[in-house]
Amino acid sequence: MTRTISDARIRRCLIDSGASPELVSYLIAAPTRPSDLAGTLKWGIVLSTTATAIILIGNMGLEETVQGIGIATLGAGLGLLIFYPVGVWERRRVEREKAVGAGGLP
């Protein structure tokens, strides 16, 4: 709602200043952002490994011990470590696509 009102005000000011309708549309258009599948994957892995650790804690009877907290933290850490190679692979893939798009070799 707020964005709609502010966009309408900005659009009106731009038109009143003599800007072309195409320029106004370009400036007001919502920026396109690709979906963040890597972030979704990362948090899916982290939450899954943490949940697995919590289940293990419950089965081992360590709910209120330091070891239980350690296992839960270890689960989250393992999730991030599992994601690391995926993140590196994704970064390299994006860099290759940029190089190909810029006329470089794949």
Give pLDDT tens digits for 10-48. 777 777 888 777 777 777 776 655 556 777 788 888 888
Radius of gyration of the chain (CA): 24
The model's pTM: 0.49
**Angle at CA 32, nearest 5°, toward 47 and 83?**
25
- Other C-beta atoms lying within 10 Å of the C-beta of residue 22: 8
* Range list of H helices, 17-65: 21-28, 37-60
In the chain, where are the structural domains located? 1-32, 37-101
- For the chain, the average pLDDT equals 78
